[in-house]
Structure 1
Amino acid sequence: MQNTILHSGDSLPLTCSRSGTCCHGNRVRLNPWELMRLAQAKELSSEEFRKKHTCEAGTVLLFNGLPNHTGKSSCGLYEVGKGCSVHPARPLACRLFPLGREIQNGTAHYMHEGSDFPCLKECPEVLNLPKLTVEDYLLGQETQLFENAQDGYLELMQNLADISFELLLDSGLSESGDTETLTSWRKLGSMDVTQLSKEIPTEWFDLLMIPELEQHAEPMSFVQEHTEILNGKIQELSESLSTLNSIREAAKWMMALGLLLAHAIGADAKGLSEHWIEIAKSHGAQG
């Protein structure tokens, strides 16, 4: 479906009617900071929240609650007659809905699916409510901190891919005639997120998705500390690598971590893996 690109001054029927329709039958992705925030709101550890309220390796909220009149199940955090039980901590996808967001050349762009405004089919009453500009809607939804977290994890995703490149290209692995690494990257990119998570050692998976960090309200502090912990662990791993086989395995893990994070922030993991493979090939890798 083609998207309608929006501008900050565009005026749309964005005042919510509070029907709860958008809390049913949708798909909400979570980055690690958002997962931590939701866990804090439910007074759970990140691990407990992941096990109880998410699927797809902790990257997607469970929609396993009571269905509404359309037959669509509610988010597991939705309470009938009350609404979202974690509303102040709701993730970016919920704050933006029905808008989407993507980064192009370092700039955020907003859009909605299709040519018609998405809410009109199931919530036509919004036409009777005040319109809002895109800019005012984003301010009202307090999206900025959550967008910062998303952008921070986008950067971490690229950093993990860069480390995988370094292991392949700067260690002698590529020069050895290795073809297995790029083949493994392609396989990883084609996996669904649950399969992908099984390719990652549990210690590394937990370090990425449920890091043992203080519960920062400010996302960039959380993401920065998360990145530093990962980098420290990666440095330890790099110092222990002594054979081409161990380097190949590490390059696979790093790529798997990057692609898992891609799923968590809603990026195209398969497209990214193919893009990164082509970059590696342009620097002499084979596969």
Structure 2
Amino acid sequence: MQTNILNLQNKLPLTCSRTGNCCFGKIIYLNPWEVFHLAKEKKLTSREFRDSYSDFGGIRLKFDGKKGYKDQQACSQYTANFGCSVHLGRPLACRLYPLGRQLQSEQVHYMYQGDEFPCLEPCPDVVNLEHLNIGDYLSGQMTEAFEKAQDAYLDLMQNIADLAFELLLDTGLAESGDKQTLALWRKMGAELPEVLAERIGQEWLDCLMIPDISEKDPIAFVSKHNNLILSKAQEIFGTLQSHQELHEASVLIMSIALHLARGLGANPKELSEFWVDIAKNNGAQE
């Protein structure tokens, strides 16, 4: 499928026609900052929102509402004849739609997929509405804080993976001839999200997706979450001694990194293969 890379000055039919057709049949992944804001707008705790309106421990928004456009199910937050019931707390993917966003080498790219602009088929009336440049559209959708949170969580994801590397490479586990750890890293990258969530377990899923943090600033929120996860890992894994314990800890931590990666829209399979290759280049075996 063709990818159309955009700049902030590009003008496109981005004024919403309010038909709601984009609220049907989508896959919307979530990071913990987004779960927090969705819950706040719904006047629920993060746990209550996560348990009622998301799948796989909180990383995907449920689309289990009434069927509508193209006989597809509506988002769990969509209300007929009204629209999004949590509009002010909606996640970044909804704020950006129909645009995509990618961060590469600290450079942000906006884009859309396909030969035709995505809104034209479900909402043809948009061509008669005001065309906006990308920069003005993003400003109107108030994406800035959510983009900052997304990018900060990408860093946190890498920090978690780095801990899995340390447990493998800096403890003597890799030097012992261990081959199980990397084999499981690779396997987990291809596991279904429900399988990975079960592997992680409820205690760590709660720590990952519904931390007890209420910071308004996205960077501060993610920073506190990073410290919470690393402190918990240090408390649990700081006294491990046997190779089997170190293996199990490294696998668990890597599973958490891969699960968060999926919630951030990354490809867990590609990431796991990339991280396995790095570990092998540093002396680990598979």
Q: Does the alignment reach a TM-score above 0.5?
A: yes
Q: Which residue of 2 aligns with 1:218?
A: 217
Alignment of 1:53-68 (within 5 A): 53-68=53-68
Question: How big is the alpha-carbon RMSD for the aligned residues of Structure 1 and Structure 2?
Answer: 1.0
> Equivalents in 2 of 1:70, 1:192: separation in Å?
26
Secondary structure of 1:240 counterpart: coil
**AA matched with 1:284:** G
The answer to whether the Cα contact below 8 Å between 1:164 and 1:254 also exists between their aligned partners in 2 is: yes
Q: Which residue of 2 aligns with 1:25?
A: 25
Divergent runs of 4+, >6 A? none
Secondary structure of 1:168 counterpart: helix
Report the identity percentage.
48
The answer to whether the Cα contact below 8 Å between 2:24 and 2:69 also exists between their aligned partners in 1 is: no
> Equivalents in 1 of 2:80, 2:202: separation in Å?
36
Say how many residue pairs are matched: 286
The answer to whether the Cα contact below 8 Å between 1:259 and 1:273 also exists between their aligned partners in 2 is: yes
Alignment of 1:76-115 (within 5 A): 76-115=76-115
The answer to whether the Cα contact below 8 Å between 1:57 and 1:193 also exists between their aligned partners in 2 is: no
Q: Which residue of 2 aligns with 1:263?
A: 262
The CA deviation string for residues 96-143 of structure 1, in whole angstroms up to 9 with x for no partner, is: 000001111111111101121011011110000011111111111110
> Equivalents in 2 of 1:148, 1:253: separation in Å?
27
The CA deviation string for residues 37-74 of structure 1, in whole angstroms up to 9 with x for no partner, is: 11111111111111111113311111111122421111
Q: Which residue of 2 aligns with 1:147?
A: 147
Farther off after superposition, 90-99 or 66-75? 66-75
> Equivalents in 2 of 1:98, 1:56: separation in Å?
25
Cα distance, 1:217 vs structure 2: 2.4
Q: TM-score, normalised by structure 1?
A: 0.97
Q: Which residue of 2 aligns with 1:190?
A: 190
Cα distance, 1:2 vs structure 2: 2.5
The answer to whether the Cα contact below 8 Å between 1:208 and 1:230 also exists between their aligned partners in 2 is: yes
> Equivalents in 2 of 1:47, 1:111: separation in Å?
33
The answer to whether the Cα contact below 8 Å between 2:30 and 2:58 also exists between their aligned partners in 1 is: yes
> Equivalents in 1 of 2:135, 2:70: separation in Å?
31
Alignment of 1:268-283 (within 5 A): 268-283=267-282
Secondary structure of 1:16 counterpart: coil
Unaligned runs of 5+ in 2: none
Tell me, yes or no, if structure 1 residue 45 matches structure 2 residue 45. yes
The answer to whether the Cα contact below 8 Å between 1:102 and 1:109 also exists between their aligned partners in 2 is: yes
Q: Which residue of 1 aligns with 2:70?
A: 70
The answer to whether the Cα contact below 8 Å between 2:57 and 2:205 also exists between their aligned partners in 1 is: no
Secondary structure of 2:71 counterpart: coil
> Equivalents in 2 of 1:57, 1:235: separation in Å?
23
> Equivalents in 1 of 2:181, 2:125: separation in Å?
54
Q: TM-score, normalised by structure 2?
A: 0.98
> Equivalents in 1 of 2:107, 2:68: separation in Å?
37
Cα distance, 1:279 vs structure 2: 0.4
Q: Which residue of 2 aligns with 1:247?
A: 246
Tell me, yes or no, if structure 1 residue 14 matches structure 2 residue 31. no
Cα distance, 1:154 vs structure 2: 0.3
Alignment of 1:113-128 (within 5 A): 113-128=113-128
**AA matched with 2:51:** K
> Equivalents in 2 of 1:80, 1:148: separation in Å?
31
Unaligned runs of 5+ in 1: none
The answer to whether the Cα contact below 8 Å between 1:179 and 1:286 also exists between their aligned partners in 2 is: yes
Q: Which residue of 2 aligns with 1:172?
A: 172
Farther off after superposition, 151-160 or 238-247? 238-247
